[in-house]
Structure formats: structure tokens, C-alpha cells
Chains A and B, each alone.
Chain A
Amino acid sequence: MEEYREEELTLPAEPMLLHMGPSHPAMHGTVRCVVKLDGETVVGSDVQIGYLHRGFEKECEWGTWTQVFPYTDRLNYASPLLNNIGYALAVEKLLGLQVPARCQYIRVILGELARICDHSVCSAAMAMELGAFTVFLYLVKAREWIFDILEEVTGARVTHAFCRIGGLRWDLPENFADRVRSVLPKSLEAIHECEQLLLRNRIFMDRTMGVGTITPERALAWGWTGPCLRSTGVAYDVRKAHPYLVYEDLDFDIPVGSQGDNYDRFVCRLEEIRQSARIVMQALDKLPDGPIAVPDDTGILLPQKLETYTTIERTIQHFKIIMEGIQVPPGEVYSYSEAANGELGFYLVSNGSGKPWKCRVRPPCFANVQALSELTRGRLLPDIIPTFGSINMIGGECDR
């Protein structure tokens, strides 16, 4: 029998292609990552998105402006209210409408609660993929309390469809402020516990510090926004740079990172949860009384129900809005807001009728995911997991 010496054996030298996803537990949001491996080192990767493409933009052209709201819920389904708010702001910009103060405050409060939910679940998923299942359950528990509040306000846990063009669907229930004030500290405590479990944990630090690093220049070149960009040190937040709603009157800070690696992204998100909680508490204190929608005389909203039942005038208005949709004057607008993943833009084109002509979404995580192959090049295969988790690609938003 011949003896083989290790050095003489020729191993295959070409890289191996490994398909990760789309149905892979770590590729949450259905994305396929075709990874070129040299041993365990990632030589290159091809990130293929689009598995959750459902034709959102085409579907918006079918119905009226109001019928788009259930579709927006299903964009970033971890924080649906932020999508509702972004779309409502875009159409209101096209109409030249300003909603009343109470509506603005409620939108801010609910938007920030949604942001807390999104960041919680993103951090939870990332931690779980690194093996920290307890952290996942703690953060999902924190989110669960907030979902209960959102269900009491909107009627559903995820598919809210709560905003309307020109206002909101309903006012807040009576005990909303008390519920939030009792629940938020509990959620923050759960998050604090997760920080205690993970942030100085050697295994966590080894797997996330220095992994998936990107420089601010490269991040800006890729079009990054949101916590991913802020983790590199660039302090760009649409709420501060181009304030909308009542963010100017509220006091909050922007956490930024220094290295732009997975660790910074993770911690930035958890810090943003704290800042969001600050915003919510301030807004609850400042919440004014008043109407939650523009007056019925603007002809934009469905009128008050009791008047609709009993007067012909408001019945006519109700019917015209349902049959034909809101008459938005012709024009185009690009409206942007800070969603959980970054700058969520809506580019709307109206041809003057009650149905949108074009509704283009600028998804924040689309730009973030672009850089995934650059972030993972030269790293090991297991590094893809926390990197992908920290980018927070939400399939519904990225693929629409």
C-alpha cells in the first residue's frame, strides 16, 4: 500500500459555491446568498434578493389612495406603522395638507413604538443566530407587551392600516397613556437584561467586533442610511436633518458608532430603543387635545360616522371618496422619513384621479444589503450570519 504524504495530496483549489437560502433559518426574509468559499473563507458572495417580490408598486396602481394602506403594512412588517406614516406623509405632501397637532403627536408616538418593536426583533434575531436564544425570547417578550398596546389602539398586532390620508383611523383609547407608561419601563428593563447578557460577553464580542466592518465613506457610497450608517460614525438621521411631524419639538439624541462593525450596529439599535422610549414619554406628556384629522370640509377623509348616517351631504362625500378615491391633484412628490432601517422614501406620481399613477418605494434596507458581499469578503462563513442579521434586511421592504 502506498503511503500518501500530506504535502503530496492535491486538494481541489477552485472555490466551492454554497447556496445559503432562500429557505434558510438564518436568511430571514428569504434572500439567497451564493457564497464562494475557499475552505471556510468567503472569497466572494452573490446576494440575490427578490424572493419576496409581490408587486407592491403594481398593486398600488390598481386601487385607490386609501386602499394602499394595507399594502404598506406589509412592506417593513416588523414596524408597519412607520410605513403607514411614511405613505400618509407622502400623499399629504402631494395634497399640501398639514394634519392637526394631536395627529402628529400620535403618529410620532406610534411610530416610535413601532421602531422599538423593529429594533427589538432585529437584535433578537441576530442574537439568536449566534446562539443566544434567551436574548431572543427576552426581546420578543419586550415586543409582545408593545404589541398588546398596539392591538388595543389599532385592532391588530401587525397589520395595522392605522393611518389615513389627512389623519388617523381612530383616536387613542382612554387608557393609552397609562398603558404605555407602565409597559415601556418593563420593556426597557428586558432590553437592559439583554445588554447585560451580551454586551460584555466574550463570545459575542469575538463574533461581532471587527466583523462586517465598513468605513463611513464606503457606507455613504453604497447609499446606507439608518442605524447601519450611524454605526459607522455618520450622524445622519432624517428626524434631525429634515425634521417632520413634531420631531423638532422633542428632545432626543442620536447614537453613533465608531467602528462600523456588527457590534456597533447591535449596540446602536439598542441605544435607539432607549432614545425612542424617551421620545414616547415626552410626546405623551405633550400630547395636545384636538381633532385627529383634517376637517371634513376638506373633502379628503371619510366624514364622521354619525353625520354620514343621518345627513345627505356627508353621505355624498362618503360615497364619492369610496367610489372614486381621494382626488389628488396631478403632480409628483418624493417624501422621506426615518423608518427603522433608515430613510424610507415614497415617490408618488398622481394623474389627478383617485388612484395612484405610480407609487415607488425607496426601501432603506435595499441599499444596506447591497454592501453585504463587500462586508463579508475575506471573512469566514459563520461571520455572514451576524453580519446579515445586523443589516436587518426585512424581505417585505427590500423586495416589495
Chain B
Amino acid sequence: MPKLTIDGREIEVEAGVTLIEAARRMGIKTPHFCWHPELSVAANCRMCLVEIEKNPKLQPACQIPAAEGMVVHTENPRVREARRAIMEYLLLNHPVDCPICDQSGECKLQDYYMLYDLKSSRLASEEDKVRKRKHVPFGPHVVYDAERCVMCTRCVRFCAEYVKDPMLCEVHRGDHSEIDVSPDRTLEHGYSLMTAHICPVGALTSRDFRFQCRVWFLKAAETICPGCATGCSACLDHNRGRAFRLRPRVNNAVNRCWLCDDGVLSYRFHNDHRLCSPSLGRGNPQPASWEDALSEAAAALGKTPKAERAAVLSAERTCEENWALIVFAREALGIERFFLAARPDGTADQRLRSADKNPNRAGVRLMLGAEPEPMTALLEAATAGRIRAVIALGAEASAAGVEPSTGLLRLGTVVSIAERTGTLPDAAHVRLPCGSWAQSAGTFVNAKGMAQEFGRAMPLGDGLLDVHEILARLARRLDLSFPYKTAAEVRTAVAGRLPEAGAAGGAP
């Protein structure tokens, strides 16, 4: 294990660890553009140059492995001048785009300029800067601006090494270098937004996020992506009740530091097609107050005989919400038949995307203690008249090969607890709006069986209620008891049925 000294302090690391990683472990932040812990080393930006004693030239810390007895300086005048010079070269041809560039606020050029440069430009005139193409669409999700590009080649290496599809390449030479997509191809390999995420400057930006909100207004909240059963760790960026994007969060057991395109765009589950207030009536829903809607729901469910009632659990909602519905259905309504509402399957790949596009199918199974019946069974029972009233959680319900709405419309009563419009609320008599996944605190169990808990990313808006609160009020109206008053009580009840943290695949 080589022992080396960085900035006067000793550290011992395993063989093969680079200087930049060794410095990071000591809390020293070395500036870099092209280095990324998950990609190969390119050492082309030269920003991480440090001085190693007995070595006449400055060396890139991202490339040099730690060696026994090395003495490294990262903060002396020579290194400072090198950093200043690199910044000057990078900014020489950089366009004056900060006002229109989305990367403002999370741009490495901005951060490093303040830390290592702060000098004025020595270029005679802005007209002398090299002009290149701007806002070139690389694919459906990503826009490229060649003038802002610092040619760090992170995007090129990402496509080649992680996606294993080297469709991006460097073209031209010198200060006319650019990145381009291979001819007749577009950047749509399912992880294209990651190229924009790892781009240290505003060269690659997300088309979806373009000009939506300035980055420094956004608040970040930790959450789990609700896009599929992989359950990648993510950060939701939001401002003033609107979500803007998901960014990956490091989780070495699940997604390392990546997120697929569908994951980044799954913030739309919070923004789009939201139900804002309770409503009554099929086909042409009329807004109603909570009292009226709850009374109507309780009456409709109450007057149906027990054997003809059923509950629909949702693979899109958290374990806690599904458990609350199970307890309510069994104890308050005497329901014995549980069905599952889920999103239809989609594309899968070997990296992050699961075919199952529901975040919590495994969780529902654990809560019920058995496999819930599929939606096709409910449609059959409804058509046959064996089930007449249903209380349903969740918005989307797909049935293999069948259009669910005709079957659902046969049901006499459908009470839907959902956050957005979809198959179930559209066929419901009573819609009781709850919060989106971002507005709930709970647990998703992913396809590998890992239970991942997340907190409320955004506050519950006006006119919305938590699922357990809705069920408690319904129970009151039915004059029956519901054992949970707070979310914490539901959580405690659920904890016993979930796998331990650390079991079945690793820590969440």
C-alpha cells in the first residue's frame, strides 16, 4: 500500500489509486473537467495538474497512480499559475453565453474562474473568437453548442464505455474541434440525457429542461425514481410546487451514478394531468368538496354487499399507501379480493431499465403477503357482475391485450384515490386526489427486492390529502375504525413486512 504526502499530509492508499482520488479522500478538491470516476481517464483538460517533487513538469493527478514516497503539492504558485492559464485558454474562445446558457449555476467554468482565475480577458475583441455551430439537436433530448464545448470528451467516453455504442466522436482539429454524432445516427440510446448531465459546461443541454427554470432557484430533494422497477436513486429539482427534472444520485448498489432518459423525465408524473380537487360523476366530473365526495364514496361502498366489493392496489404507489388500503379494505370493508393496477411493460436493457415500468410491484406483493390478482381478472369479474364496487389506488391500470375501460365501466361503483388522470380515475364515480410520489413519504421495493425509503420531496399542495388520511376519513364516515392516524404509524406497521436494509442485494 503506497504511502504518499499531499500538501504536507500523509495518506496511505491501495496500489493503483490515482492522485486525484487520493486527494479527494483527504478532502482536497482538485479541479477537473475531463475526469469522471466512472469513465476512463483522458487527461486532456490539464486542469488537475499538480506538482510532484523530483518531476520537472506538472503532472495530471487524474492519471498518475500514487507511488510510495511521492510528495505532491496542489497549492503552490506554479500549480496556481497553471490553473489560471488553463482557464484563460478555455475562456479565450468561449462565447459570452451565460445569460442564455442553462448551465449557469452548475457550470464548472464559472466555479473555477472564481476560484482560480479572476483576471480580465486579454483578447482584443469578442469578434476574434472562433465561431462554431450552436443549438444543434443531437437527438430528441439533447442540444449541442459547439462554441461552449471544452472538448473534454466525457460524452464521447460515456457513449463508448457505458452505453457501449460509440456514436459521438471528435471532429476537426485545433480550436475548430467539435463533437459530432456519427453520420445517419441520432443520440437516442436511452441514456442521452446523461451526456448532458456529465457535460461540465453548457455544451450539451437537455431540450426538455431548456429555459424552464434557472438552476439556482431550484431546490433539490432526495427521492427514488418512479419510472421502473430498478428504483434508481435520484434527486428531484423543484421550485414553487413545480418539478423540473430528476438527476441521478450516487447509489453503488443500484444505479451507481446514472439515470436513464425516462428516469430523468419521470418528474412529469408530478407535473402533468394532476387532479386538484375531489370530483363526482363519471364521464363529466364535477368538482366537489371533500365532505361531499367522501360521503358519496362511503355511501356507495357501504351499500354494496361485502362479497361484491374489491380493492385495487397500485404498483405505482408506496408500500405504506398500499398497506393502508389493504388494512382499510379488510377491516372496514371486509374485502377479500385484491387486484393490481400497474403500468404496461416497456423496453428493458442490461444497464438500468427494467421491463416492468412500475416502481413497487414487489412491494405490493410483500404488503399483501400474496400475489394480487391481475387486472384482467377484475375486468372478467366486473363483466360477469360478480364484483360491483371497487376502491382503487393509483392512476394507471393496464390489462394484457384488453382495453380496461369497458370492463371498468361495468362496475357500479368505482372510488379512485389517485394523483393524476388515467384509466382508473377516468372510470371512477368518485375521485379523491392524493399527492404524487414526490409528495409522499414511503418505500418502494425494487425488482431485486431492495426496500428503499424516501422522504417527501415536495409539500402536499392545497386540496390534496395523504392516502392514509383519506382512508381514515372514509372509515369515519362508515362508522368503522381505521387503526392509523399518522404516516409514522403506517410506517411502523409496514416495517415488519419489509426486508432488512442490507438484505437481498445491498444497502439502499
Contact = CB atoms under 8 A, between A and B. Distances in A.
B114 A317 contact: yes
B490 to A, nearest CB: 36
A319 B99 CA distance: 8
Contact of A316 (B110, B125, B126): B110
B431 to A, nearest CB: 39
A316 B105 contact: no
Contacts of B104: 319, 323
Nearest to A321: B114
Contacts of B41: none
A303 B120 CA distance: 10
Nearest to B90: A312
B113 interface: yes
Nearest to A322: B216
Contact of A320 (B91, B110, B120, B125): B110
Nearest to A297: B118
Interface in B107-123: 109-111, 113-114, 117-121, 123
A319 to B, nearest CB: 5
A319 B103 CA distance: 12
A313 B114 contact: no
Contacts of A303: 120
A315 B114 contact: no
Contacts of A312: 91, 94-98, 121
A310 interface: yes
A337 to B, nearest CB: 29
Nearest to B88: A313
B216 A297 contact: no
Contact of A313 (B97, B117, B216): B117
Contacts of A324: 216
A312 B101 CA distance: 12
B100 to A, nearest CB: 11
Determine which residue in B109, B111, B118 has the highest number of CB atoms from chain A within 10 A of its CB, and name it.
B118
Nearest to A307: B120
A296 B125 CA distance: 19
A298 B216 contact: no
A258 B200 CA distance: 70
A314 interface: yes
Contacts of A299: 114, 118
A201 interface: no
Contact of B118 (A309, A317, A319): A317
B365 to A, nearest CB: 46
Nearest to A313: B121
Contacts of B110: 316, 319-320
Contacts of B113: 313, 316-317, 320
A297 B121 CA distance: 11
Determine which residue in A303, A307, A316, A323 has the highest number of CB atoms from chain B within 10 A of its CB, and name it.
A316
Contact of B120 (A296, A309, A318, A327): A296
B120 A313 contact: yes
A314 B117 CA distance: 11
Contacts of B109: 316
Interface in B78-98: 91, 94-98
Nearest to A323: B216
A311 interface: yes
A97 to B, nearest CB: 14
Contact of A311 (B97, B117, B120): B120
B96 A315 contact: yes
Contacts of B111: 320
Interface in A283-331: 296-299, 303, 307, 309-320, 323-324, 327
Contacts of A310: 96, 125-126
A157 to B, nearest CB: 33
Determine which residue in B95, B105, B111, B113 has the highest number of CB atoms from chain A within 10 A of its CB, and name it.
B113
A127 to B, nearest CB: 51
Determine which residue in B96, B109, B117, B119 has the highest number of CB atoms from chain A within 10 A of its CB, and name it.
B96
Given A298-B118, A299-B118, A313 B91 contact: yes
Contacts of A316: 91, 98, 109-110, 113-114
A329 to B, nearest CB: 13
A152 B123 CA distance: 37
B119 A311 contact: no
Contacts of A315: 96, 98-99
Interface in A314-366: 314-320, 323-324, 327
A324 to B, nearest CB: 7
Contacts of A327: 114
Contacts of B125: 310
A320 B118 contact: no
Contacts of A298: 118
Contacts of B105: 323
A314 B120 contact: yes
Nearest to B113: A316
Interface in A82-128: none
A101 B166 CA distance: 60
Contacts of A296: 118, 120
B129 to A, nearest CB: 9
Contacts of A319: 98, 104, 110
A240 B490 CA distance: 69
Interface of B: 91, 94-99, 104-105, 109-111, 113-114, 117-121, 123, 125-126, 216
State the 6 A-B residue pairs at the shortest beta-carbon distance, nearest first.
A311-B121, A316-B113, A323-B216, A312-B94, A315-B98, A299-B118
Interface of A: 296-299, 303, 307, 309-320, 323-324, 327
18 contacts: A296-B120, A297-B119, A298-B118, A310-B125, A310-B126, A311-B96, A311-B123, A312-B95, A312-B98, A312-B121, A313-B91, A313-B113, A313-B120, A313-B121, A315-B98, A316-B91, A319-B98, A323-B105
Given A296-B120, A313-B113, A319-B110, 15 more contacts: A297-B119, A303-B120, A307-B121, A311-B120, A311-B121, A312-B94, A312-B95, A313-B117, A313-B121, A315-B99, A317-B118, A319-B104, A323-B105, A323-B216, A327-B114
